[in-house]
């Protein structure tokens, strides 16, 4: 069967360093034992979408190396027919995680920087209900994916200034507060001058939904004991995309559809921060729905 969600994005090997606190500029801190695992914004989001119940494919570039093999194994449940092998090494992320669960990330793109769209990828993107991308891959590839899609979600991370040409192709923008300011300045409502709808994530405080035809909707956070915030935002995006596939089957996504999807994504993110790591922390659909019922039903 054709994929419902196509994720066009990055995959990295995560090198995670636990620290008492994230170092300030010019400061050296000592870390605990380093762990190595699968991650990358695109890979995290693809796994989140698949685990949330959507048929999911990924357009990704991996190196012909140990890291590429690690990621192919980790992307269980994700269709990798459209994955390509690059001469460049698989992307790498160095993540410092402090005792509070907050993190700081530096990414060496590697193969991610070589990602382009084949004719087969463009065809799959055109047939998908939802296409989801981020900014750890070339902007030209994101632009091409947006132009080919029927409904395009852009998670504009890492923070960057975006062209009006790209934003004109975006159906739903997902950003945190820093990313929102990079695009539209300090007034987040100004995002709606650039895109028809946006979700601004607020960490533990939840998220807000902005649309041109309704007032701002606040979705409160779900209080939890935080272990590691790595991949929380990616879990949110992947589950959001997966949940919206049900609405897109009716040829339109309403405000209530978006609110429901953000609530489910919010619950999923709250579950992910209770476990360490990126892909290993992404929850499955049954756990998401059970917690959703406790919080909202």
Distance (Å, whole) CA 243 – CA 259: 11
Distance of CA 41 to the CA centre of its chain: 5
Give SS3 for 244: helix
Binding residue per annotation — 293? no
Residue 211 CB neighbour total at 10 angstroms: 19
Q: How many CA atoms lie within 13 A of 35 on its CB side?
A: 12
Strands 5-8 and 56-59: parallel
| Annotated binding residue 272 | yes
43 labelled as ligand-binding? yes
**Dihedral pair phi/psi, residue 115, rounded to 5°:** -70, 125
Say if residue 136 carries a ligand binding annotation: yes
Annotated ligand binding at 67? The verdict is no
In contact, 245 and 54? CB cutoff 8 Å: yes
Confirm or deny that 33 is annotated as ligand binding. Answer: no
Annotated binding residue 10: no
Peptide bond into 104 cis (omega under 30): no
Q: Annotated binding residue at 39?
A: no
- Phi then psi for residue 148, to 5 deg, are -90, -10
Q: Is 228 annotated as a binding residue?
A: yes
Q: 220 phi and psi, to 5 degrees?
A: -60, 155
* Residue 65 among the catalytic residues: no
What residues does 207 pair with on adjacent strands? 201, 219
Structure-block tokens of residue 199:
């979700």
Answer yes or no: is 230 a known binding residue. yes
Q: Which two tokens stand for residue 270?
A: 């709250």
Catalytic residue among 213, 234, 251, 286: 234
Residue 176 labeled ligand binder: yes
User: 41: annotated binding-site residue?
Assistant: yes
The response to whether 28 counts as a known ligand-binding position is no
Q: Is 281 annotated as a binding residue?
A: yes
Q: Give the whole-angstrom CA distance, residue 106 versus residue 150.
A: 32
> Is 44 annotated as ligand-binding?
yes
Q: How many CA atoms lie within 13 A of 30 on its CB side?
A: 1
Q: Which residues contribute to the annotated binding site for substrate? A: 12-14, 40-44, 136, 234
Q: Which residues contribute to the annotated binding site for ATP? A: 176, 201-206, 233-234, 266
Q: Which residues contribute to the annotated binding site? A: 12-14, 40-44, 136, 176, 201-206, 228, 230, 233-234, 266, 272, 275, 277, 281
- Give the residue numbers marked as catalytic: 234
Q: Which residues contribute to the annotated binding site for K(+)? A: 228, 230, 272, 275, 277, 281
């Amino acid at each position: 069967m054709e994929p419902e969600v196509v994720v066009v994005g990055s995959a990295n090997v995560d090198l995670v360093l636990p620290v008492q606190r994230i170092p300030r500029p010019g400061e050296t801190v000592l870390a605990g034992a380093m762990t190595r695992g699968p991650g990358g914004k695109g890979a995290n989001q693809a796994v989140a979408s698949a685990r949330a119940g959507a048929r999911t494919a990924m357009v990704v570039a991996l190196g012909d190396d140990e890291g590429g093999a690690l990621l192919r194994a980790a992307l269980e449940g994700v269709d990798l027919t459209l994955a390509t092998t690059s001469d460049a090494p698989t992307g790498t992320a160095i993540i410092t995680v402090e005792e509070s669960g907050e993190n700081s990330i530096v990414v060496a793109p590697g193969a991610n920087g070589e990602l382009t769209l084949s004719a087969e990828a463009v065809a799959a993107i055109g047939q998908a209900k939802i296409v989801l991308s981020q900014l750890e891959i070339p902007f030209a590839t994101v632009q091409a994916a947006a132009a080919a899609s029927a409904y395009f979600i852009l998670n504009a991370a890492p923070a960057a200034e975006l062209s009006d040409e790209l934003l004109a192709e975006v159906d739903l923008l997902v950003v945190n507060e820093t990313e929102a300011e990079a695009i539209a300045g300090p007034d987040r409502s100004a995002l709606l001058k650039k895109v028809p709808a946006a979700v601004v994530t607020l960490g533990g405080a939840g998220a807000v939904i902005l649309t041109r035809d309704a007032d701002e909707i606040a979705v409160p956070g779900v209080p939890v004991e935080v272990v590691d915030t790595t991949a929380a935002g990616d879990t949110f995006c992947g589950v959001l995309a997966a949940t919206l596939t049900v609405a897109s089957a009716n040829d339109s996504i309403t405000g209530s559809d978006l609110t429901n999807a953000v609530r489910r994504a919010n619950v999923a993110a709250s579950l992910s921060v209770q476990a360490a790591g990126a892909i290993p922390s992404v929850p499955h659909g049954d756990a998401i729905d059970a917690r959703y019922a406790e919080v909202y039903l």
